[in-house]
Amino acid sequence: MHRKPPDQTWESFVEEQIREAQAAGEFDDLPGFGKPIPGLDEPYDEDWWLKDKLRRENLSALPPGLAIRLEVHRTLERVWTLSREPEVRDAVESLNRKIRAANSSLWGPPSTTMPLDIDHVVAQWRTRKAQQ
């Protein structure tokens, strides 16, 4: 890092720093080089940064009572693709822990989602596997 000389404009100073960094290869092999910029062709959304942060950090803007419904749907879709019964049981047990946490949350509307019967989900999984 260099200090700007008093007789040099900020623009020329910055341009000089960029040229030096380019010559030193500091811009080579940057992540995403040669790839399209995500969302470039999409309509402008003033909340793009918030949505991106929520996606990157796997956060939800939904209250727990509503978010758990989406989680149940996504987990069951994944469960049907699993190949081993212990994986199914683990996934449903993990989901049930999340359901209980959502049901005890005081934020947002109350959750009416009940924990799933693991044996019932496993029986459905077996039926689906037998039909494949």
Model pTM greater than 0.75?
no
Higher pLDDT, 3 or 108: 3
Residue 78 contacts residue 91 (beta carbons within 8 Å): yes
Cβ-based burial of 104 (10 A; exposed 0-12, middle 13-18, buried ≥19)? exposed
Task: Please tell me which residue, 1 or 43, carries the higher pLDDT value.
Answer: 43
DSSP state of 107: S
CB 93 within 8 Å of CB 116: no
Long-range contacts of 119-122 (CB under 8 A, 24+ apart): 121/76, 121/79, 121/88, 121/92, 122/85, 122/88, 122/89, 122/92
pLDDT interval class at 123 (50, 70, 90): very high
Is residue 1 pLDDT above 70, yes or no? no
- The pairs formed by 17-22 with CB atoms below 8 angstroms and a separation of 24 or more are none
Look at residue 86 and tell me whether its pLDDT is greater than 90.
Answer: yes
pLDDT band at 21; cut points 50, 70, 90: very high
Structure tokens, 25: 């290869």
Band (66; pLDDT cuts 50, 70, 90): confident
Q: Is 54 helix (H, G, I), strand (E, B) or coil?
A: helix
